[in-house]
Amino acid sequence: MSGGYWLIALLLAGVGGSLVRLVLGHVRAPRALRPAAWRTWALAALTIGSAGLLYRVLMPPPVALARDTLVVLTAGADLASLPPAKRVVALPEAADLPPGAHRAPDLATALRRHPDVRALQVFGAGLEARDRDAVGARALAYVPAALPAGIVELAPPVTLAPGARFEVRGRVEGIADARLSLLDPAGRTVDVTEADETGRFLLAGTARESGAATFVVAVQDMDPTSATRVPVPVVVEAAAPVRLLLLAAAPNPDVRALRRWAEDAGLSLRWRVMLGGGTAAGDAPPLDAASLAGQDLVLLEARAWDALGAGARAALRTAVNDGLGLLVHAPQPPSDALRSWLREAGLAVEVGRTRDWRVDAGPGDSARLRAWLGPGRDDAPFDPALADETLPALGVLPIASGQPGATAGGSETMRWDAVGRGRIGLVTVADSWQLALAGRADLHAALWSGWAGTLARPGGARSPAFEDELRVDRRWVVCDLGDDATLLDADGRPVPLLPDASGGGCAGVWPARAGWHRLLDGETSWPVYIRDADEASGLHAARLRAETQALVRAHPEMTGTQQMRAGSSWPWFFAWLVVTALAWALGRARVGRSVVSDRSAAG
């Protein structure tokens, strides 16, 4: 039972005892000495009133909170745009203070100093992560500062395999007709592009050897600042090789080019080519459940599928349901049997008429193309003449069903869909071997690596989850870690990980140094890039704006009625004092006593 209920019980007991005493005293008194009825009723009413007022003295009723507004200044706040306000607080990032404003180390401290505030007006760049949780259910209006001229959005590539192509997308603010370039770690230009009318851009490059590298996206013809020259972290990891099974109906140039691609890409390849008369070349195992369970991807020519028996087709379908990837190469329209089998598996195939298609050749000058392709190999060094050569046109059957494959191959050249835990895809590009013959084995590899990466059985490696924008002296949270996880800075010194007390495998980190760090968890490690506090200022400003804008709401969120606070006890105390004094005075006074005896004495 709460304290309020105990108080009510005690007061009711006291009032009940007083009323019983008054009634018994009135009834048992001799008629000649019995007080007037109104006197007894008045004393009873005053007793009840005194008890009720005493309860309110001890438990005053709540009153509605005043909806005062607090003006909050952050970095870059325009003081000329501030409205008249009695309460103005400046957070540490704010530079100048208007008259009457005071500083606070964080928003939570400012709100503790002003507990009646129910609305906030934020001016400037926006609220840092330490302040956003303090907003709570309060209303919030936001007047953002202008973003710096430069790069304000950037999507770095995810972890790549050696030799993979990658894309860097972003947006430029405040620069008309901006031209941007992607520079490799050696400072060589890899790609150049122009931003569109909305400021968005796309740059592409090629990953090299395993490890962590820092590329740079720079705005051309602009003074280098933290907003116009932004580092791009690129992580290249040599994962376990994909186990590929290649099946072809007859020897052809595509098979030779695919075998060379698989060898250069480091895939674990097993293959079989039918030679006719029941003979075959290669080391591929039979298509049964056991052998298919040991593969990650089956690359199957459409004619080779037509030659499979019912048992092999059933085993292939079962293996796909269990997680295997299947890529069917059909440069000619697939047979009715193959279409029916794919439709039953979940991929309805509708192809159009053959048309010509060319792969994007990349940079048009030899210096950029060399940075794009690298120096080449001893047996195939880089040829500067490739920059001036026209790539051959490839035949394609446009596909209008399923999900699009890798962007390097266009949205119509390859389509796929999920089947159980696996994926089935169909690619219709013909004679892709001509790319390798023309000296552009990199383009041939980019096509097939992209398609294979989309469909292959995923590996079992677990990766931690953390934000993609990490900065010095700002907290970031990393999850899915073991108990012995460690973070090492660029010099190999450990950075403290503070585990979440609630569990869940998460920890908070406050890195003190910029650069590449390494997160260790058991026998696995991941490179992590930490930006300097002033690096990529446009990205940070845009992120603050977006996250503060997400907190904007016109009215406080309330559950039920308006939020209340405890009221003052003093008015109730004075009322109780008056009523209690009246009850005491009436109890002491003779008015209303011995009415009968007074009349007898007068006669």
Confidence class of residue 407 from pLDDT cuts 50, 70 and 90?
Answer: low
Rounded alpha-carbon distances, angstroms, from residue 160 to 41, 212, 332, 441, 445: 91, 10, 32, 19, 14
Closest by CA position to 120, among listed 170, 158, 80, 70: 70
For residues 596 and 34, is the Cβ–Cβ distance under 8 A? Answer: yes
Per-residue pLDDT band at 363 (split at 50, 70, 90):
low
Q: Is the pLDDT of residue 217 over 70?
A: yes
Which pTM value belongs to this model?
0.65
Between helix 310-321 and helix 336-345 the angle, nearest 10°, is: 30
* CA gap 445, 436 in Å, rounded: 9
For residue 386, the model assigns a pLDDT of: 67
Token pair in block for residue 3: 């304290």
Mean pLDDT (whole number) for 348-357? 78
CATH 2.60.40.10, applies to 150-238 = yes
Confidence of residue 597 (pLDDT cuts 50, 70, 90): very low
pLDDT tens sequence across 254-274: 999 999 989 888 889 999 998
- Measuring CA to CA, which residue among 353, 324, 358 is closest to residue 452? 324
Helix (H) or strand (E) holding 257: helix 253-264
Amino acid in the structure at residue 551: L
- State residue 481's pLDDT score: 78
CA gap 444, 361 in Å, rounded: 11
Instruction: Please state the rounded mean pLDDT for residues 467-489.
Output: 82
Band (409; pLDDT cuts 50, 70, 90): low
Residue 440 phi/psi, 5° resolution? -115, 55
The class level of CATH for 243-358+393-455 reads alpha beta
Determine the pLDDT at residue 83. 79
Contact 535, 226 (CB under 8 A): yes
| 212 or 374, which is more confident | 212
How far apart CA 592 and CA 590 sit, in angstroms, is 6
pLDDT score recorded for residue 561: 45
Fold annotation for 470-530: Immunoglobulin-like (2.60.40)
**Nearest one of 420, 429, 428, 426 to 403, comparing CA atoms:** 426
Give the model confidence (pLDDT) of 13-41 as tens digits.
888 888 888 887 777 778 777 778 888 88
pLDDT (0 to 100) of residue 120: 92
Q: Which tens digit of pLDDT belongs to each residue from 232-260?
A: 999 887 667 889 999 999 999 999 999 99
Strand partners, 395: 356
Residue 377 binned pLDDT confidence (cut-offs 50, 70, 90): low
pLDDT at residue 556 tops 50:
yes
3-state percent helix, strand, coil for the chain, nearest multiple of 5: 30, 30, 40
Of the CA atoms within 13 Å of residue 416, those in its CB half-sphere come to 26
Residue with tokens 């400046």, as numbered in its chain: 90
Same fold, 150-238 and 243-358+393-455: no
Reply yes or no on whether the pLDDT at 497 is more than 50.
Answer: yes
Mean residue pLDDT of the chain comes to 83
**Which pLDDT belongs to residue 242?**
86
pLDDT recorded at residue 131: 92
**Predicted local distance difference test score (pLDDT) of residue 602:** 45
Query: Degrees (nearest 5) of the Cα angle 364, 369, 373?
Result: 145
Taking alpha carbons only, the member of 391, 471, 458 closest to residue 423 is: 458
- For residue 381, the model assigns a pLDDT of 67
Residues 6+ apart with CB under 8 A from 49: 579
Token pair of 125 as six digits: 């760049």
Compute the radius of gyration of the chain from its Cα atoms: 40
Higher pLDDT, 210 or 284: 284
Q: Where are the beta strands (DSSP E) in 500-585?
A: 507-509, 515-521, 524-530, 564-566
Residue extents of the structural domains in the chain = 3-61+575-602, 68-145+543-564, 150-238, 243-358+393-455, 470-530
